[in-house]
């Protein structure tokens, strides 16, 4: 396990403080980047820090994990030994936990301030992809061919179509709406074959905040609820072979996806719906917001936020 205080490892430019922003110390808690081995069931701590880090993405070559924190992005190299380095994202100062990597590993897509940006994977000045306007975009998925980005959208001008899932060209431009409505949706992500888009939402909720797992065809048709029950389920992530999903589960009665709650990660076989609990821990927001399967599907990364001195 690597034990880090990020403030002591970064350049002055990377140590920017955003009051109340997406990277801050967690009083009485630590952030743990953890890895579950699907073959053995072993759940180990890869990195621990007193600061808030979120949303691990694996690089397509499996040699590094990307995370967000302090309004910026960071790369944790895994070979030959773990080392955390900032990624230059130029003028963007408030990158959040919605970020993905292009299939070819050359581009990092990030969300900040309701807009989506493209940044070279080695770092550089970001290029805004989203159009100016009243709609806020939150990035969650990239198509298998790398041509499209799946985004959650919020338009506060419209009650009837406030929430949406829209496809944004990876080169930038006008978005293509797939689903618009009055009920919240979040976390759209393609299946590896490109046929389905998985997401969480309140489409069938009897009470506000009760999210469940859905999928729809890539053209927005044939919406199906895939997980049933009274728990609150968020952020389905298809495995690289497309046979399984992993998602985060909150207790019954939870509203939204808040931080620092007792939550669980569940695994489901898509073909028969068989489900297995993989982990139980203190976390939630930031733990599993983006796809964090390793490229070979053998490892699953997530972030836990235990209280200091508490073994979980």
Sheet of 83-87, strand order = 54-58, 64-69, 72-77, 83-87
**Paired tokens of 219:** 């053209």
Q: Is the pLDDT of residue 42 over 90?
A: yes
Residue 80: cis peptide before it, omega within 30 degrees of 0: yes
Q: Is the pLDDT of residue 238 over 70?
A: yes
- Mean of pLDDT values over 54-82: 91
Q: What is the pLDDT of residue 28?
A: 85
226 closest CA partner among 236, 217, 240, 218 = 236
- Mean of pLDDT values over 114-126: 97
Q: What is the pLDDT of residue 81?
A: 62
* Whether 68 contacts 108, CB under 8 Å: no
256 closest CA partner among 306, 295, 205, 299 = 205
Q: Is the pLDDT of residue 11 over 50?
A: no
* Whether 243 contacts 269, CB under 8 Å: yes
Q: What is the pLDDT of residue 150?
A: 98
* Whether 75 contacts 83, CB under 8 Å: no
Write down the pTM of the prediction: 0.90
- Mean of pLDDT values over 198-202: 98
pLDDT interval class at 26 (50, 70, 90) = low
pLDDT interval class at 79 (50, 70, 90) = confident
pLDDT interval class at 312 (50, 70, 90) = low
- Mean of pLDDT values over 226-245: 96
How much is the mean pLDDT over the chain? 90
Q: Is the pLDDT of residue 211 over 90?
A: yes
Q: What is the pLDDT of residue 60?
A: 96
Q: What percentage of the chain exceeds 90 in pLDDT?
A: 79
If one compares 20 and 2, the residue with the highest pLDDT of the two is 2
If one compares 81 and 41, the residue with the highest pLDDT of the two is 41
Q: Rounded to an integer, what distance in angstroms lies between the CA atom of residue 230 and that of residue 211?
A: 10
R_g over Cα of the chain: 18
Q: Rounded to an integer, what distance in angstroms lies between the CA atom of residue 33 and that of residue 128?
A: 29
pLDDT interval class at 257 (50, 70, 90) = confident
pLDDT interval class at 311 (50, 70, 90) = low
- Mean of pLDDT values over 167-182: 96
Q: What percentage of the chain exceeds 70 in pLDDT?
A: 89
* Whether 299 contacts 35, CB under 8 Å: yes
Cβ neighbours of 28 (radius 10 Å) = 12
């Amino acid at each position: 396990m690597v034990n880090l205080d990020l403030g002591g490892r970064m350049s002055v430019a990377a140590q920017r403080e955003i009051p109340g922003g997406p990277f801050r110390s967690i009083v009485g808690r630590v952030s743990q980047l953890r890895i579950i081995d699907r073959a053995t069931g072993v759940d180990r701590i890869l990195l621990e820090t007193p600061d808030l880090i979120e949303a691990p993405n694996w690089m397509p070559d499996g040699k590094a994990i990307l995370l967000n924190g302090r309004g910026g992005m960071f790369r944790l190299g895994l070979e030959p030994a773990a080392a955390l380095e900032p990624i230059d994202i130029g003028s963007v100062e408030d990158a959040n936990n919605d970020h993905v990597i292009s299939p070819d590993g050359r581009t990092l897509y990030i969300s900040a301030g309701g807009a989506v940006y493209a940044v070279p994977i080695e770092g550089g000045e970001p290029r805004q992809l989203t159009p100016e306007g009243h709609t806020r975009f939150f990035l969650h998925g990239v198509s298998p061919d790398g041509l499209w980005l799946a985004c959650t959208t919020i338009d506060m001008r419209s009650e009837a179509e406030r929430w949406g899932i829209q496809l944004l060209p990876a080169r930038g431009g006008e978005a293509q709406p797939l689903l618009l409505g009055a009920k919240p949706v979040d976390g759209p992500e393609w299946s590896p074959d490109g046929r389905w888009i998985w997401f969480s939402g309140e489409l069938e909720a009897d009470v506000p905040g009760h999210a469940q797992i859905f999928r729809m065809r890539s053209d927005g048709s044939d919406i199906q609820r895939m997980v049933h029950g009274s728990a609150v389920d968020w952020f389905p992530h298809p495995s690289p072979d497309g046979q399984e999903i992993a998602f985060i589960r909150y207790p019954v009665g939870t509203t939204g996806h808040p931080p620092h709650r007792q939550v669980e990660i569940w695994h489901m076989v898509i073909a028969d719906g068989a489900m297995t609990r993989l982990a139980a821990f203190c976390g939630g927001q930031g733990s599993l917001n983006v796809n964090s399967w390793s490229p070979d599907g053998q490892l699953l990364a997530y972030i836990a936020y235990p209280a200091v001195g508490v073994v979980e």
